[in-house]
Amino acid sequence: MLANEVRPGPNRYITGEGVLFDLPEYLNDFDQVAVITGDQSFDVFQTYYPHPFDYPVYRYDGSSSYENAQELADKIKHADVLLAIGGGRVADTAKITAERMGAELIVIPTLVSNCAPFTPVIVAYYPDHTICKIDYAKKGAYMTIVDTRFLLATPVDYFIAGIADTLAKYYEMEAIVRTMAEEDKTALVRLGFQSAKLIKELLIADAIQAVTDLEAGRLTPAFARITDAIIALAGEVGGFAVEFGRTSGAHALHDGLSYLSETHSVLHGNKVAYCIWVQLAYTNDFAVIEELRPFYEALHLPMKLKDLHVSRVDRAYFAPVLTYAVKEEETFVLIDPTITPEKVFRAIEAVEAL
């Protein structure tokens, strides 16, 4: 049910230069504050944040798992608001913990990499980092604070991965809506798709410049636009279009790739970048792949399995990947209800042959 409800984003989305300095004011309405973060994320936050910060701090274990979220809830015991300071896995862990504690959630992204700080979607893994499920928090975040000056600390490779992950919003939704009857395209589905098209236009126009600006440490309109596109606009696509605008082929295959341990060190968005090409090959859109090639080359995005540290390309080795990607409860079926592991593997082979 939660997967099919219109849920555009957090209660409050605050974006701009220096907005993190107003955090004490935002916390005035709360009595007990607890922080969930990671070691590197908290170090970056403390370097930037100018005010005293004496709230209890709890480190997550890097897994974004239900098990770790419950461990954190047991340790925290009582809080009326959780501060999630970090990347997507920190945010998703804190969503689970906040729900189990009945606490509000404020998300402070420490890097520009995905829409996790904005959406109620939870990507849950098992403790061994294989995919568990896509879940949905019953409540969105109370607040998401996107300080564009602070986010210039984003590592360039994470920023580029975020660009790729966000680019998938258009191609994944386009593959779904192209086969929908016009009468099935509700007003909200159409709004979500318009958001997806705007995202693609912004990324193609501004992303390469935004990477250059980030490398130079310059806060520019291009960097700010791409930041909000990755964090907020990407979340609006699925927020309005629900199941038709969240994920389809590329992310289903990405999740399947979690069964190949050699891919675990590859950033989420980089794996998605490769999977966009596989999805395009699956739908026979090879001309679109060639249109994207200069963009991929400029950002050094993965175009082959070897870029994901995968050296074997045989059907038996990919069996668990393919089995997961075509599951009925996964999202590749939104493109092709008759999908089979063999069809997906042929698309992988086609990309490898380019």
- Please say whether the beta carbons of 19 and 145 come within 8 A: yes
- Please say whether the beta carbons of 110 and 144 come within 8 A: no
Q: Are strands 143-147 and 81-86 parallel, antiparallel or unpaired?
A: unpaired
* Separation in Å, CA 306 to CA 31, 143, 263, 311: 51, 40, 10, 6
* Separation in Å, CA 313 to CA 172, 241, 274, 302, 303: 24, 35, 14, 16, 14
Q: Does the annotation place 129 within a ligand binding site?
A: no
Q: How many of the other CB atoms lie within 10 Å of CB of 128?
A: 10
Q: Does the annotation place 112 within a ligand binding site?
A: yes
Q: Does the annotation place 218 within a ligand binding site?
A: no
The residue count of the chain comes to 354
Q: Does the annotation place 78 within a ligand binding site?
A: no
* Separation in Å, CA 256 to CA 26, 112, 337: 40, 24, 18
Q: Does the annotation place 31 within a ligand binding site?
A: no
Q: Does the annotation place 268 within a ligand binding site?
A: yes
Q: Does the annotation place 148 within a ligand binding site?
A: no
Burial of 212 (0-12, 13-18, 19+ CB in 10 A): middle
Q: How many of the other CB atoms lie within 10 Å of CB of 134?
A: 18
State how far the Cα of 228 lies from the Cα of 138, in Å rounded to an integer.
24
- Please say whether the beta carbons of 141 and 147 come within 8 A: no
Q: Does the annotation place 110 within a ligand binding site?
A: yes
Q: Does the annotation place 124 within a ligand binding site?
A: no
Return the amino acid letter for 11: N
Q: What is the DSSP string of 279-327?
A: HHHHTT-HHHHHHHHHHHHHHT---SGGGGT-----TTTTHHHHHHHT-
Q: Does the annotation place 92 within a ligand binding site?
A: yes
Q: Does the annotation place 136 within a ligand binding site?
A: no
Q: Does the annotation place 179 within a ligand binding site?
A: no
State how far the Cα of 18 lies from the Cα of 149, in Å rounded to an integer.
6
Q: Which residues are documented as binding site?
A: 88-92, 110-113, 119, 125, 165, 251, 268
Q: Which residues are documented as binding site for NAD(+)?
A: 88-92, 110-113, 119, 125
Q: Which residues are documented as binding site for glycerol?
A: 165, 251, 268
